[in-house]
Amino acid sequence: MFETAPLNPPDAIFGLIEQFKKDTNPNKINLSVGVYQDESGATPVMKCVRMAEQKLLDAAGTKSYLPIDGPASYNNAIGRLILGDLYDHANVNSVSAQTPGGTVSLRLAGELLRRVFSVDTIWMSNPTWANHPKIYGAAGLNVEKYDYLDEQGTRLDFERLVSSLDGAKPKQAILLHTVCHNPTGVDPTPEQWEELCKVIAEKQLFPVFDFAYQGFGTSLDADAFPIRKFVESGGEALVCNSFSKNFGLYAERVGGITAVSKDADVAKAMLSQIKLTIRTMYSNPPLHGGAIVDTVLNDAELREVWEAELTEIRNRILQLRAGFVAAMQKRIPDTDFQYILDQRGMFSYSGLTADQVGKLMNEHAIYALKSGRINVAGINSGNLDQICDAIASVV
Ligand code: LMR
């Protein structure tokens, strides 16, 4: 039977990691996968994580099963992280479950939407993270796209976004990048979010918030604005969050799914459905990554260390953007690169074509996504000139 399996092409993002590893050029630079790199090009284990791991090591501990939805202390902490003061609001009732990373959380959301609510379609931005359509296709949903960028492909075209939702029908889902849109780095303004929340409510669409970059935009609280705005007036939502980026816990696979409703009994029923779905998919979550996050979020001292580290990362990425723009402006003075300064998070839609990206890779050993997405967090003072010279030579 196996001989009938067609050969699937390598993953658009992870395929490049494999290619990068094989490249023997000593000057190779990886701007492809969304992983934070420090000034030395390393992806360090954060200090708060090492401190939490030490604490966990010192405690007796056990490797027995976790509850299907993960520990209550973890789930309360992520509910509070996402909802802020709304977490204690009588009319905002949320339930959360620990998941192995953001991807599983997104898939769980798809399973719930299809199985429990017979949702058949999910709308997502064009462009979006390359894995989004695959995840929801695998969950049995039809994928529809809403417009996102302007003609130049560098800024949000909000009117176009809203009008491209004209065909959306009640009871369809809409996937939203809460902050630091992947792959473009282009986010709506708070005013546009308010408007979009209204459109979603009017159209009776069901929002799924992908929240992979909390803390990478403006601050932990400001980045949660779209979710809080939507649920404060009674809206229901699913939130899929990840701690890969803001805790640097990529390989630990740790995140969560949160269902928000205005009614406590509804939330309780949602948790029962989330647990049923988890039990049939992976039974219960892995221990280590969640225990780290749980320890940090529930310890005042460790939390302070985490927030300071996250602020440092966010500020450094802003500096990298500024340095990159200044260096490109010198090489190509007649192009306006302001949009790169306005984008947020690790990614920038550089405007490079697939052909130019190919040349960057083949002629300069600089790896970026075919779509033109570059990971700004892969730039450092040692490779900046090499990157900018190479880009200037291919455009
Ligand atoms: C990315 O977009 O590069 C990251 O989110 C990693 C991934 O899983 O694709």
Nearest Cα residue to 391 out of 346, 354, 357: 357
Question: How many whole angstroms separate alpha carbon 249 and alpha carbon 254?
Answer: 7
Question: How many whole angstroms separate alpha carbon 362 and alpha carbon 237?
Answer: 44
Give the residue-averaged pLDDT of 36-55: 96
Torsion angle defined by CA atoms of residues 359, 363, 366 and 369, in that order, rounded to the nearest 10 degrees: 20
Q: How far is the CA of 125 from the centre of ligand 1 (A)?
A: 16
Give the residue-averaged pLDDT of 377-385: 95
Give the residue-averaged pLDDT of 219-247: 97
Domain ranges within the chain, ordered by starting residue: 10-45+303-394, 65-298
Give the residue-averaged pLDDT of 220-243: 96
Distances (CA, A) of 125 to 87, 148, 240: 28, 6, 16
Give the chain's mean pLDDT: 96
Q: Is 124 left (phi over 0), alpha (psi -120 to 50) or beta?
A: beta
Per the structure block, which two tokens stand in for 162? 């809203």
pLDDT bin (cut points 50, 70, 90) of residue 49 is very high
User: Does 173 have pLDDT greater than 90?
Assistant: yes
| Residue whose entry in the numeric block shows the structure tokens 């973890």 | 74
Question: How many whole angstroms separate alpha carbon 185 and alpha carbon 78?
Answer: 24
Give the residue-averaged pLDDT of 68-96: 97
User: Does 384 have pLDDT greater than 90?
Assistant: yes
| Residue whose entry in the numeric block shows the structure tokens 């953001």 | 102
What pLDDT is stored for residue 122 in this prediction? 98
Pocket test for ligand 1, best of 20, 103, 105, 131 (most atoms within 8 A of CB): 131
Pocket test for ligand 1, best of 11, 13, 30 (most atoms within 8 A of CB): 13
The active-site residue out of 69, 210, 223, 294 is: 210
pLDDT bin (cut points 50, 70, 90) of residue 152 is confident
Q: How far is the CA of 33 from the centre of ligand 1 (A)?
A: 5
| Contact residues of ligand 1, CB 6 A cut-off | 13, 33-34, 129, 131, 182
State the architecture of 10-45+303-394 in CATH terms. Alpha-Beta Complex (3.90)
User: Does 350 have pLDDT greater than 90?
Assistant: no
pLDDT bin (cut points 50, 70, 90) of residue 147 is very high
Cβ-Cβ contacts under 8 Å for 68 (sequence gap 6 or more): 97, 275, 278, 279, 283, 284
**pTM, two decimal places:** 0.97
Beta 373-375 vs 237-242: how paired, if at all? unpaired
Torsion angle defined by CA atoms of residues 359, 361, 367 and 373, in that order, rounded to the nearest 10 degrees: 20
pLDDT per residue as tens digits for the range 335-349: 889 999 999 999 999
pLDDT per residue as tens digits for the range 101-126: 999 999 999 999 999 999 999 999 99
Looking at residue 61, its amino acid is: G
Q: How far is the CA of 343 from the centre of ligand 1 (A)?
A: 17
User: Does 169 have pLDDT greater than 90?
Assistant: yes
Distances (CA, A) of 118 to 63, 105, 113, 313: 37, 18, 6, 41
What pLDDT is stored for residue 233 in this prediction? 84
What pLDDT is stored for residue 93 in this prediction? 96
What pLDDT is stored for residue 29 in this prediction? 96
Question: How many whole angstroms separate alpha carbon 179 and alpha carbon 212?
Answer: 8
Percent of the chain with pLDDT over 70: 100
Is 129 an annotated catalytic residue?
Answer: yes
Q: Are 255 and 101 in contact (CB under 8 A)?
A: yes
Helix, strand, coil: what percent of the chain each, to 5?
Answer: 50, 15, 40
pLDDT bin (cut points 50, 70, 90) of residue 60 is confident
Is 245 an annotated catalytic residue?
Answer: yes
Q: What is the atom index within ligand 1 of the atom nearest the CA of 103?
A: 8
Percent of the chain with pLDDT over 90: 96
65-298 belongs to CATH 3.90.400.10: no
Looking at residue 94, its amino acid is: S
Question: How many whole angstroms separate alpha carbon 276 and alpha carbon 69?
Answer: 10
